Amino acid sequence: MPYKSVFTAALFGGQTIIVTGGGSGIGRCIAHELAHLGALVVITGRNEEKLEAVVAEIIEDGGRADHAVFDIREEDAVAANVSQILVKHGPISGLVNNAGGQFLAKLEDISQKGWETVVRTNLTGGFLVAREVLKQSMRDTGGSIVNITADHARSMPGLGHSGAARAGMENFTKTAALEWAHYGVRVNVVAPGYIATQGLQQYPLAHKKKIRNRKNFVPARRLSTEAEVSAAVVFLLSPAAAFISGETIGVNGAVPAMTAEYTLSPENEASKDDRYPIFDGFHRAAKIDFLSDDYEFEDED
């Protein structure tokens, strides 16, 4: 089955679009949808095996894809690989800064090294890739950049290093939107909230139990799909968003609107009667078994 995109076929025909962190999770989904819509997608990351697997999937589905292995935190590597992508595939029309990562820890337990590693991954790396894409390509051709952050509107307990970096990326986005507007470059953010993505499998048992309970704090009474995040990214990359820049689209099911005065009632279980239908257009989406109400957790040794 092909990707079930809501966007018109060949929307990105003839365009080269980079997706960092495209070897898994949301980045993999975005890469698939962009390729389905005609783009030549170049996915990047540090794990060549994962990148090659996604490229093979896309080609099997009839799309075009390539990969580049490098660490977005290393300035020279970023510059060299952007240059190589340009030599192989021509001007870069779009960039999705999706690569990121963090670990669970209270602020008081995070070392300087741990803090700086997460900030470099979620903020510095995105800046370096965006800067090089601008300098080497978009400064002459224009284009669109979408930075993936997270729903940090109130706080991110247990992920304070990531929250600080994501907030920094949003401010970087606003500044870049202003400074790069005269080049014809748009820069925006997509901020996912609670997303059912394969990356959730990495967390320990106790946190997985919390993740499954998150839907009880979402007005929509469910988690989002990777395809719902990808759709927001595709919209911002598309001509329909030609006058949108410096903005953030949250994919969060109204969680940031929650207040202490509002309590979700038992009747407000929208996902069970299709009042808040799920859009899951990604035909290769990984199924997260522990999110099912029928799944029984086994205690860790």
| End-to-end CA gap in the chain | 40
Sign of the Cα pseudo-torsion (191, 192, 198, 200, in order): positive
* Helix spans in the chain (H): 25-36, 48-60, 75-89, 112-119, 125-133, 139-141, 160-179, 205-213, 226-237
Q: What CA–CA distance (Å, rounded) separates 92 from 12?
A: 12
Distance of alpha carbon 124 from alpha carbon 99, whole angstroms: 11
For residues 85 and 42, give the distance between their C-alpha atoms in angstroms, rounded to a whole number: 8
Q: List all residues 6 or more positions away from 286 whose beta carbon is below 8 Å from its beta carbon.
A: 197, 198
Encoded amino acid at 268, one letter: N
Q: Which two tokens stand for residue 287?
A: 């199924």
HEC per residue, 199-261? HHHHCCHHHHHHHHHHHHHCCCCCCEEHHHHHHHHHHHHCHHHCCCCCCEEEECCCHHHCCCC
Give the strands of the sheet with 143-148, arranged side by side: 64-69, 40-45, 16-20, 92-97, 143-148, 185-192, 248-251
**Confidence at residue 167, expressed as pLDDT on a 0 to 100 scale:** 94
Token pair 């370096």 in the structure block, residue: 128
Q: Are strands 92-97 and 195-196 parallel, antiparallel or unpaired?
A: unpaired
Q: Which residue has the tokens 């988690």?
A: 223
Q: What number of residues does the chain have?
A: 301
Residues with pLDDT less than 50, the chain:
271, 301
User: What pLDDT shows up at residue 272?
Assistant: 54
Using CA atoms, how far apart are residues 126 and 120, in angstroms rounded to an integer? 9
Q: Are 103 and 114 in contact (CB under 8 A)?
A: yes
Tell me the fold of 16-291: Rossmann fold (3.40.50)
Residue-level pLDDT at 109 = 96
pLDDT on residue 267: 58
pLDDT in tens, 79-128: 999 999 999 999 999 999 999 988 889 999 999 999 999 999 999 999 99
Q: How far apart are CA 34 and CA 126, in angstroms?
A: 20
Helix (DSSP H) and strand (DSSP E) numbers for the chain: 9, 9
